[in-house]
Structure formats: C-alpha cells, structure tokens
Amino acid sequence: MVFVQPMMPCLNRYIVTSSSYFSIRISSLECRKTQKKTKDKAFARSVSRQDIIEGAQELGRPLEEHVEFCVKAMQAGAAELGLAGNSATSG
C-alpha cells in the first residue's frame, strides 16, 4: 500500500476528469477511452502522468491493467464516492 498513496489521487482525478470530458456517468466509462486520453498532454494537464506511470510500475502492474482496475473499483464504489446517479457534467 505504500506505493498506492502517492499516485492514487492523481489517477482518481484523471478518471473523474475523463468521465466529465466524455459527459458520462462513471459507471459507463470505458477504460480504453481513459487510457487513450493519456497521450493528450493538454487533457487533465494538472494530473501528473509520471506519478500514475511510476505508481503502476512500483506495484508491478502494467499501466493499462492498473487503470482498468482503478476504473472498475471506482465504478463499484461510485455511490460512496458521490459519482453515481448523475451525469458527470450538468447541461
């Protein structure tokens, strides 16, 4: 768990930003869309990609697998995280 702490807030913010960007509920977010946006440096520019990448490496998991795991975990806990029931953006 030591390695999870520094990178999880970045990855969580990135996943929520992805959900907002695609104007969908977190429950409908596709991992591949989230991962594809990591190549766009202007997207969620305040989120440290390096922290996310290093965190996955330190856990010994491929980045794609780790992002998918975190998206699914956030989807499972969406109600507790305040991410369920409403669109990510209003309007």
Blockwise average pLDDT, block size 10, the chain, 91 residues: 52 85 84 82 86 87 88 86 60 40
Q: Are 37 and 86 in contact (CB under 8 A)?
A: no
* The predicted structure's pLDDT at residue 62: 92
* The predicted structure's pLDDT at residue 85: 60
Q: Is 90 part of a structural domain of the chain?
A: no
Q: Is 30 part of a structural domain of the chain?
A: no
Q: Is 65 part of a structural domain of the chain?
A: yes
Q: Is 68 part of a structural domain of the chain?
A: yes
Q: Is 57 part of a structural domain of the chain?
A: yes
Tokens of 39: 């190549």
- Cα–Cα distance for residue pair 34/74, rounded to 1 Å: 13
Tokens of 42: 């202007």
Instruction: Report the domain count for the chain.
Output: 1
**First-to-final CA distance of the chain:** 38
Q: Is 73 part of a structural domain of the chain?
A: yes
Q: Is 63 part of a structural domain of the chain?
A: yes
Q: Is 11 part of a structural domain of the chain?
A: yes
Q: Which domain holds residue 47?
A: 4-25+43-80
Model-level pTM? 0.74
